[in-house]
Amino acid sequence: MPVPPIDLSGQVAVVTGSTSGIGRALAEALAGAGASVVLNGLGDPAQIEQARAEIEQSSGRPVRYHGADMTKPAEIGEMITSTHREFGRLDMLVNNAGVQHVSPVEDFPPERWDLIIAINLSAVFHATHAAVPLMKAQGRGRIVNIASAHSLVASPFKSAYVAAKHGVAGFTKSVALELAQTGVTCNAISPGYVRTPLVDGQIADQAKARGISEEAVMRDVILAAQPNKRFVEYDHLSGMLLYLVSDLGASANGANFSVDGGWTAQ
Ligand code: NAD
């Protein structure tokens, strides 16, 4: 039997942290498959508006922007409820916003720990908390958390990030079990290294923390982790997301899908 093409026409998605990197690519993929999309994230307002307009034009779907700060629970809740108010539904929530800080634990600034836990973990709860009643009332919904290979394994100097991402993996399983009979699924996608601004920023930090050159970080630290010696590309993540949010993904629940070139198989 042929597999039907993925068509998200009439569906509505919120993608957190979608003004840059992976989130932007995922938002483009959802709009490209027919969904109306709400972008979110920080950045220069003119550049955000340009990105919004580009995705709207290329997809022909409504694309909005909400500036909720992922450290502020009330703003996260408002983003979810105002999306539902405008479009009359909410089908997909992609919890993607994330930040990183690389430092030995004894030097790790406590305020960076708090920030990483707030954005990478607590915001996933706050958005899910607001979205679940709306999705349950519809009898269908898709929550996809962008975790990381670091939700499954650790690296030195990333204690807050690894703790937050392991938390996301556990949260995903718990929510999936709660929702198992509602038509709403909750899964995680765990990328290996993707060449985004977040990774570019780490190269210099890793070099400093380890006392080696930036070239050595790329070769011996970053791509050393990935057996295929290649960065993960945006399309590899978009493909997994489209599967999960479509009807094809209806039986996937509580899972953590590695898209990491074999990193966590080691
Ligand atoms: P990025 O830096 O390119 O994008 C991060 C996004 O989060 C941006 O849109 C930014 O504005 C937003 N953001 C940051 N703080 C925010 C806040 N307080 N409120 C609202 N938005 C905020 O990063 P990326 O590499 O695209 O990472 C996206 C996600 O993928 C993160 O959760 C990250 O942990 C995860 N991830 C990335 C990689 C990688 O190699 N790049 C690997 C595994 C997992």
Report pLDDT for 149.
98
| 261 alpha carbon – ligand 1 mean position (Å) | 20
* DSSP H or E segment with residue 191: strand 184-191
Query: Is residue 264 included in any domain, yes or no?
Result: no
Q: How far apart are CA 159 and CA 108, in angstroms?
A: 9
Note if the pTM is more than 0.75: yes
Expressed as residue numbers, the domain containing 197 is: 193-231
Q: How far apart are CA 48 and CA 19, in angstroms?
A: 6
My answer on whether 128 and 215 are in the same domain is no
Q: How far apart are CA 70 and CA 97, in angstroms?
A: 8
Q: How far apart are CA 165 and CA 145, in angstroms?
A: 10
Q: For the residues 164-180, what does the mean pLDDT come to?
A: 99
Report pLDDT for 6.
96
Dihedrals phi, psi of 191, to nearest 5 degrees: -75, 150
pLDDT of 17-61, one tens digit each?
Answer: 999 999 999 999 999 999 999 999 999 999 999 999 999 999 999
For residue 198, pLDDT over 80 is answered with: no
Report pLDDT for 183.
98
Instruction: Domain count for the chain, please give it.
Output: 2
Q: For the residues 160-184, what does the mean pLDDT come to?
A: 99
For residue 192, pLDDT over 90 is answered with: yes
Query: Is residue 92 included in any domain, yes or no?
Result: yes
Burial of 21 (0-12, 13-18, 19+ CB in 10 A): buried
For residue 201, pLDDT over 90 is answered with: no
Indicate which residue of 161, 193, 234, 243 is catalytic: 161
Please spell the DSSP secondary structure of 56-68, one letter per residue.
HHHH-S-EEEE--
Query: Is residue 76 included in any domain, yes or no?
Result: yes
Report pLDDT for 1.
80
For residue 105, pLDDT over 80 is answered with: yes
pLDDT of 127-147, one tens digit each?
Answer: 999 999 999 999 999 999 999
Within 6 A (CB) of ligand 1 lie 17-23, 40-43, 69-71, 96-99, 119-120, 146, 148, 191, 193-194, 196-199
Query: Is residue 114 included in any domain, yes or no?
Result: yes
For residue 229, pLDDT over 90 is answered with: no
Active-site residue flag, 161: yes
My answer on whether 236 and 132 are in the same domain is yes
Report pLDDT for 225.
82
